[in-house]
């Protein structure tokens, strides 16, 4: 939704859902962990009043634990935090997210080794999704980094049933690389919002993911 018209967020959300989107991906940035500043809990709460969609919240923030309570009250569905800022309290963070009825996920920046998320997936109280950033977090419209697909392949081999999300530069020209590597949750912004026929782009990307899942 970072690529949407924020002045018309409710109608933009409905438009994407009507076009076939399964989730609405909400980028929450604090201006500290990343230089950009976007939305927060008040916007999530406002959108929730207009939509029953799964709100997939990606927190690019320095202190994610401070956002658990506000986002729960706002109506967030998924809460994905960054491993780079959660090394000291990830177990408590996951527990709090789950206790508030949200689905925990962990994200990692391009420069972070994939091994850093293993303990969070292997834990007795694990995250339920790993988000592999295929661009540097903070801004939309960046170019896809194909080398990040090695992380996806390693994850898929190690965790066959894990939800693996990819975010950044995904569109018709890059979806096959992500899907064939094993990604099953696709975040797309400008490639959908900027397309003449967004529904066709969403359909094409879904088809690629489903076809590659069948091959596995």
Which residues does the annotation place in the binding site for a divalent metal cation?
A: 25, 27, 58, 167
The set of long-range contacts for 89-94, using a CB threshold of 8 Å and a minimum separation of 24, is: 89/65, 90/119, 90/120, 91/123, 91/125, 92/65, 93/64, 93/65, 93/68, 94/120, 94/123, 94/125, 94/126, 94/127
Reply yes or no on whether 150 is catalytic.
no
Binding-site positions for substrate: 58, 138-141, 169, 189-190
For residue 19, give every residue at least 6 positions away whose Cβ sits within 8 Å of its Cβ, in sequence order, or none.
Answer: 192, 198, 199, 202
Catalytic hit among 18, 27, 66, 150: 27
Nearest CA among 214, 204, 150 for reference residue 178: 150
Reply yes or no on whether 66 is catalytic.
no
Binding-site positions: 25, 27, 58, 138-141, 167, 169, 189-190
Catalytic hit among 56, 66, 150, 167: 167
CB-neighbour burial class of residue 110 (10 A; exposed 0-12, middle 13-18, buried 19+): middle
Active site residues: 27, 167
């Amino acid at each position: 939704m970072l690529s949407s018209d924020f002045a018309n967020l409710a109608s933009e959300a409905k438009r994407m859902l009507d076009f076939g989107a399964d989730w609405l991906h909400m980028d929450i940035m604090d201006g500290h962990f990343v230089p950009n500043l976007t939305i927060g809990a008040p916007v999530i709460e406002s959108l929730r009043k207009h939509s029953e969609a799964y709100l997939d919240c990606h927190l690019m923030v320095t202190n994610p634990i401070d956002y658990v309570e506000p986002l729960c009250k706002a109506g967030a569905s998924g809460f994905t935090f960054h491993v780079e800022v959660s090394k000291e309290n990830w177990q408590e963070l996951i527990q709090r997210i789950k206790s508030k009825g949200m689905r925990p996920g962990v994200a990692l920046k391009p420069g972070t080794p994939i091994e850093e998320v293993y303990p969070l997936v292997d834990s007795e109280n694990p995250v339920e999704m790993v988000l592999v950033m295929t661009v540097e977090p903070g801004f939309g419209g960046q170019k896809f980094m194909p080398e990040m697909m090695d992380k996806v392949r390693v994850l898929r081999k190690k965790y066959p049933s894990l939800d693996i999300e990819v975010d950044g530069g995904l569109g018709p020209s890059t979806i096959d690389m992500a899907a064939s590597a094993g990604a099953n949750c696709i975040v797309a912004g400008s490639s959908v919002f900027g397309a003449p026929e967004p529904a066709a782009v969403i359909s094409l990307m879904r088809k690629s993911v489903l076809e590659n899942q069948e091959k596995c």
